[in-house]
Amino acid sequence: MNRSPEAQAQYERLLPEAIAAARAAWCPHSNFPVGAALLTADDRIIRGCNVENASYGLTNCAERGALFSAIAQGHAPASFKAMLVYAPNVALISPCGACRQVMHDLMSPHCVVYCVGHETAAARDWTVEQLLPGAFGF
């Protein structure tokens, strides 16, 4: 992965946080844990994990968990520096469509989302804009 030294440092700081977040995932239905680590403007890290429900459609993904938690803690939309998403049960995690829409609403278009599965060499750095080109918004 060709990252700038700054991006690599960000990645290395966020990865253990997202791994820890994935360990907290509540996913008895899918057995597919996901962790997210969101870097705030003031260099704090807010974690999110997927939380499933017996009524499957009520499940909340790790990415939305982190973003909603950050907003609830008073962080401004579009103020975030980066997010890292980690899922150990897949080679490369690709955020779902619902989370891409929420990222589009709450993160700036050029903000990077590091996506990492168990094949760390296959990790991808996508911007919010790349994840949802031509997104709906008003």
Q: Is 59 in the site for ligand THU (CB under 6 A)?
A: yes
**Which segment (12-20, 69-77, 93-101, 118-126) binds ligand THU by CB under 6 A?**
93-101
Give dist(CA 13, CA 129) in Å, integer: 23
Tokens 């907290």 — which residue? 24
The least CB distance from residue 16 to ligand THU, in Å, is 18
Residue among 6, 52, 63, 119 flagged as catalytic: 63
Q: Which is nearer to ligand THU, 9 or 96 (CB)?
A: 96
Instruction: Name residue 51's amino acid.
Output: V
Q: Active site includes 52?
A: no
Q: Is 63 in the site for ligand THU (CB under 6 A)?
A: yes
Q: Is 62 in the site for ligand THU (CB under 6 A)?
A: yes
Question: Helices 5-23 and 62-72: crossing angle, nearest 10°?
Answer: 100
Q: Is 37 in the site for ligand THU (CB under 6 A)?
A: no
User: Which residues, listed in sequence order, are joined to residue 126 by a DSSP beta bridge?
Assistant: 113
Of 71, 96, 98, 122, the one binding ligand THU by CB under 6 A = 96
The answer to whether the CB of 63 falls within 8 A of the CB of 48 is yes
Of 15, 37, 67, 93, the one binding ligand THU by CB under 6 A = 93
List Cα–Cα distances, 14 to 52, 58, 80, 136, 138, in angstroms: 23, 27, 13, 29, 31
Residues carrying an active site annotation: 63
